[in-house]
Amino acid sequence: MDKRRDIAREIARRYCTLTPQGISTLAELLVPFKVFKGGKLLQEGDTCKYMYYVDKGMVRQFYYKSGRDVTEHFSYEGRIVICIESFLKQNPSRLIVEALENSLLFGIPHDELLTLVETDKEMAQLYRRILEHALISSQEHADSQRFENATERYVRLLKSKPEIILRAPMVHVASFLQMTPETLSRVRSSHAD
């Protein structure tokens, strides 16, 4: 329980201040998941029954399009990973969540969380803040894809989330930035000068 309480404190620190009772309530919800590098936390067609907090490691969300995989999102220590549409609707996901490193995550179960949200103002506020953060992050990424050129997208990622460039395979980084690995290599080379 101590580890879960520590994780609950971290989640509260990042998303919304909780009272000691709120920390305890959240800690009781948390379910640990260990996923080895290359393992899948969520397969296409599975329903996302948890939002996950990454304690250790890195995961990516991706999907297949025209026979190739497209990286949509990376999460690493201190970040939440959630397949929003599947989680909210409790429908099968078209996304896959894969561990890029051996990873330890703590899941917040959908059904238990939503039951608490009905009666617990702290849990309702935490839930809202996590969803707000996820939606804003998704919108910022979509805007970057729409309005920035390849170099601007790379520089934004380098400044805002350098962990991704340092730790994720470049083929996945290129996919995330919507460029070929060759274009990413050229952008990285020109930016290094």
Q: Which CATH fold would you assign to the domain 2-183? A: Jelly Rolls (2.60.120)
pLDDT of residue 90: 96
Residue 141: the pLDDT is 87
Residues 6+ apart with CB under 8 A from 142: none
pLDDT tens for each residue of 94-105: 999 999 999 999
The sign of the CA dihedral 74, 162, 175, 103 is negative
User: What are the sequence ranges of the domains in the chain?
Assistant: 2-183
**For position 76, what pLDDT does the model report?**
96
pLDDT of the residue at 61: 96
Q: What is the pLDDT of residue 193?
A: 53
Rounded to whole angstroms, how far apart are CA atoms 24 and 124? 15
**Residue range 170-176: average pLDDT?**
93
Q: What is the pLDDT of residues 15-53, one digit of tens each?
A: 999 999 999 999 999 999 999 999 999 999 999 999 999
pLDDT of residue 2 exceeding 90: no
Mean pLDDT across the chain: 93
Give the count of beta carbons closer than 10 Å to the beta carbon of residue 139.
10
Q: pLDDT by residue (tens digit) across 123-143?
A: 999 999 999 999 998 898 888
User: In the block, which residue shows the tokens 């997208």?
Assistant: 153
Q: CB–CB of 115/28 below 8 Å? A: no
pLDDT digits (tens, 9 = 90+) for 138-168: 898 888 889 998 889 999 998 999 999 999 9
Provide the pLDDT for residue 1. 57
What percent of the chain clears pLDDT 90, i.e. is strictly above it? 81
